[in-house]
Amino acid sequence: MKIDVEHVAKLARLGLSEEEKKLFADQLSAIFEFAEMLNKLDTKNTPPTSHAIPMKNVLREDKVVPCKNVEDILANAPEEEAHMFKVPRILE
Amino acid sequence: MHGKTAHELHSLLTNKKISALELTEAVISQIDKVESRVQAYVSINKDQAIKQAKAADERIKNNSNLTPLTGIPVAIKDNMCTKGMLTTCSSKILNNYIPPYNATIVDKIKAAGAVILGKTNMDEFAMGSSTENSGIHPTFNPWNTKTVPGGSSGGSAAAVAADEAILATGSDTGGSIRQPASFCGVVGFKPTYGRVSRYGLVAFASSLDQIGPLTKDVTDTAILMNVLAGHDPKDSTSVNLPVPDYQKALVNDVKKMKIGYIKELLGKGIDKDIKSEIQKAMKKFAELGAELIEVSLPSFEYAVATYYLIAPAEASSNLARYDGVKYGHRSKEAKDLLTMYYNTRREGFGNEVKRRIMIGTYALSAGYYDAYYLKALKVRTLIKEDFAKAFSQCDVLLSPTSPSVAFKVGEKAADPLSMYLSDIATIPVNLAGLPAISLPCGFSQGLPIGLQLVGQAFAEETVLRAAFTFEQNTDWHKQKPSL
């Protein structure tokens, strides 16, 4: 099977070298061919399980609380200005 | 004294035979002695550990607020946030990340008065079964440093096996606590999904991840579980159920307990030495009065394929946050935002992480979602149903933890699919969210073999009781590697 590795990498915002593209094309094909085995099972009437333990929405009151560790959070920023995260140019 | 268990050390500490400071210094000197050969840690916290040990000695002196963890040196897997202390997930993309908060389990361990020694090595973002995928350095198995310690919690398992920590935490998404425990000859326990808070655990596959202990014996596992377990309002998937005293579950008796051995995990693909040691363990349980029943879980054949669609799908979504904006590595080649994303992620992630992001992105992409991701979620239902059927006949399920003992460094590194297949016994348990333990049950070629016992959801006590009984009637957990 043929997988468009460049398209998938673009969706994942992942830069790949030429060698990685070649390597992943081969390995992803092998893995998805292996996954084809699931088609042997009839699941027409089987519901999907996204969580093994039953889950429900957990809600709390929407209350404003002070954020006490702003400095610690911003200390991790690759680039910061005036208490904001700075990123490279978005628009020309 | 670094060779002892937490419960042995607790009585020495409270009887004032040793001080917490002496204990922490003894473990640190063991780290100094063996760490260059094992490489279990990515960061070691000597000064802080000494300070915490002195604080524990104060608590002991004043006999105030004592817990079984007071003064006990603990290692934390490096995907659990520690305030003010590097948390890298063994990834270059987080190699400078200092969390502004503690994971809930770190808060609990600190509140119990334990000493945090440092952060242990792992496969990058917990993706791997050998700790060779660490972006920092590999870890080596204390029983034979030419072999891997298993993974992804390989650093925690190796640290406990080499007496570089008394207790350690791990996380388990497809076997990442149990398989390294098995390879390193220690006890590893994955609680039921939702039993332990995941707040502050760096997410890999959120519907599968669960935190648990790695320890030298089953009693220590129960002791650490008493600290870790419980509902946390900060984790909406943590379950609001009463938490039992797990130490009370440690009863040396399996009479009339029904133990199902899994037919599919004693057949082809399982090493012959492992099969024979597991059969001896079954005989032991029978001698102790348990009733052994053969059970079949035919969907297990499909578990690895199911897991390697679901886990990467969740990971590709969870790891989208590593974009170089708010924390972690940012590429210097970043003329605009999009180039910054591409280059940051290319430079920051290792091969296995990239591979899984690619698998997950493809499985979720337009035109393939139903064929792969949705199909896998449906097969997950079949696997869950197979477990339910098996548990209608028995109390716990028994199998090897891994089809082989620790493999050689480099042996499976080039073939991801063969690495994935080595998780066959552990993966189905995560897909069904069940509690399971791995404990030592023998040796092959000088390397430990692990026995896996699985229970029904929230039946941790049954699993611990069976494991404790086996341990009390065998000596495997007393064996030590000669480093």
Q: How are beta strands B396-400 and B73-77 bridged, if at all?
A: unpaired
Asked if B377 lies within 8 A of A77 by C-beta distance, the reply is: no
Amino acid code (one letter) for A12: A
ipTM entry: 0.96
Asked if B372 lies within 8 A of A35 by C-beta distance, the reply is: yes
pLDDT at B455: 98
Distance of CA B61 to the CA centre of its chain: 34
Q: How are beta strands B436-444 and B447-454 bridged, if at all?
A: antiparallel
What is the distance between the alpha carbons of residues B349 and B357, in angstroms, rounded to a whole number?
A: 10
* Domain span at B383: 1-483
Name which residue leads in pLDDT, A54 or B254. Answer: B254
Domain of residue B233, CATH code? 3.90.1300.10
pLDDT at B416: 81
Mutation for B interface: A32, A61, A79, most B CBs within 10 A: A32
Where are chain A's structural domains?
Answer: 2-39
Whether B176 is catalytic is yes
Catalytic residue among B129, B130, B153, B176: B176
Which parts of chain B register pLDDT below 70? none
pLDDT at B44: 97
pLDDT at A12: 98
Whether B332 is catalytic is no
Specify the CATH superfamily of domain A2-39: Glu-tRNAGln amidotransferase C subunit, N-terminal domain (1.10.20.60)
Work out the average pLDDT over A55-70.
90
Q: What is the dihedral of CA B102, B104, B110, B111, to 10 degrees?
A: 130
pLDDT digits 0-9 by tens, B127-144: 999 999 999 999 999 999
User: 24-43 in A: which are within 8 Å (CB) of B?
Assistant: 24, 27-28, 30-32, 34-35, 37-39, 41, 43
Percent of chain A at pLDDT exceeding 70: 100
User: 204-233 in B: which are within 8 Å (CB) of A?
Assistant: 207, 233
pLDDT at B419: 82
Distance from CA of A63 to the nearest CA of B (A): 15
Who contacts B177 (Cβ-Cβ below 8 Å, separation ≥6)? Answer: B153, B156, B170, B171, B188, B189, B190, B212, B213, B214, B438
* Cβ proximity of B192 and B463 under 8 Å: no
Give yes or no for residue A92 having a pLDDT over 80.
Answer: no
Which chain B residue shows the shortest CA-CA distance from A23?
B355
Amino acid code (one letter) for B65: N
Work out the average pLDDT over A36-47.
96
Asked if A52 lies within 8 A of B308 by C-beta distance, the reply is: no
pLDDT at A54: 86
Asked if B308 lies within 8 A of A31 by C-beta distance, the reply is: yes
If residue B242 lies in a helix (H) or strand (E), which one and from where to where?
none
Number of independent structural domains in chain B:
1
What is the distance between the alpha carbons of residues B410 and B274, in angstroms, rounded to a whole number?
A: 22
Q: With contacts defined as CB-CB under 8 Å, which chain A residues touch B357?
A: 12, 14
Give yes or no for residue A91 having a pLDDT over 90.
Answer: no
Who contacts B408 (Cβ-Cβ below 8 Å, separation ≥6)? Answer: B146, B147, B148
Whether B77 is catalytic is yes
pLDDT digits 0-9 by tens, B320-344: 999 999 999 999 998 999 999 999 9
